[in-house]
Structure 1
Amino acid sequence: MQLSGNTIFITGATSGIGRGLAEALHRLGNQVIISGRRKALLDEVTAANPGMQSIELDIASPESIKSVATWLMASHPKLNVLINNAGLMPFDNPGAVMDDAVSINILTTNLLGPIRMTSELIEHLKAQPAATIIHNTSVVAFMPIAGNAVYSAGKAALHSYTQSQRFALRDTPVKVVEIAPPWVNTDLIYKSGDPRAMPLDAYIEDTIRQLGTDEEEIIVDGIRELRNNPGAGEYTLIAGFNQMLVDDPIPVG
Structure 2
Amino acid sequence: MKTTGNTILIAGGTSGIGLALARRFHEAGNKVIVAGRRRHRLDEITAAHGIEGELLDITDEASIRGLFETVTAKHPDLNAVIAMAGIMEPEQVLDPGSLDIAERTIETNLLGPIRLVHTFAPFLTRQPDAAILTVTSGLAYVPLAATPTYSATKAAMHSFTESLREQLRGTSVQVIEIAPPLVRTSLMGEGTDNDNAMPLDEFTAEVMGLLESEPDAAQVLVERVKPLRYAEADGTYEKVFAMLAGR
Match runs of 1:1-253 below 5 Å: 1-50=1-50, 52-94=51-93, 97=96, 99-189=98-188, 190-212=190-212, 213=214, 214-230=216-232, 236-243=238-245, 246=246
CA distance in 1, matches of 2:20, 2:198: 13
Unaligned runs of at least 5 residues, structure 1: 248-253
Q: For residue 22 of structure 2, what is the amino acid of its counterpart?
A: A
CA distance in 1, matches of 2:191, 2:181: 14
TM-aligned CA deviation for residue 74 of structure 1: 1.2
Aligned length: 244
TM-aligned CA deviation for residue 100 of structure 1: 2.3
RMSD: 1.6
CA distance in 2, matches of 1:25, 1:93: 38
CA distance in 2, matches of 1:7, 1:49: 16
CA distance in 2, matches of 1:53, 1:232: 43
TM-score normalised by the chain length of structure 1: 0.92
| 1:230 alignment partner, SS class | helix
CA distance in 1, matches of 2:15, 2:141: 24
TM-aligned CA deviation for residue 221 of structure 1: 0.8
TM-aligned CA deviation for residue 237 of structure 1: 2.6
- Share of identical aligned residues, percent? 39
Unaligned runs of at least 5 residues, structure 2: none
Query: Deviation digits for residues 182-241 of structure 1, max 9, x if unmatched?
Result: 000001122151211000000000001112222111111122122112359665134322
Q: For residue 117 of structure 2, what is the amino acid of its counterpart?
A: T
TM-score normalised by the chain length of structure 2: 0.94
CA distance in 1, matches of 2:66, 2:92: 35
Deviates more, 1:209-218 or 1:176-185: 209-218
Q: For residue 37 of structure 1, what is the amino acid of its counterpart?
A: R
CA distance in 1, matches of 2:243, 2:80: 35
CA distance in 1, matches of 2:169, 2:115: 20
Q: For residue 114 of structure 1, what is the amino acid of its counterpart?
A: P
Q: Which runs of 4+ in 1 moved over 3 A?
A: 94-98, 231-235
CA distance in 2, matches of 1:20, 1:210: 16
Retained in 2: the 8 A contact 1:144–1:238? no
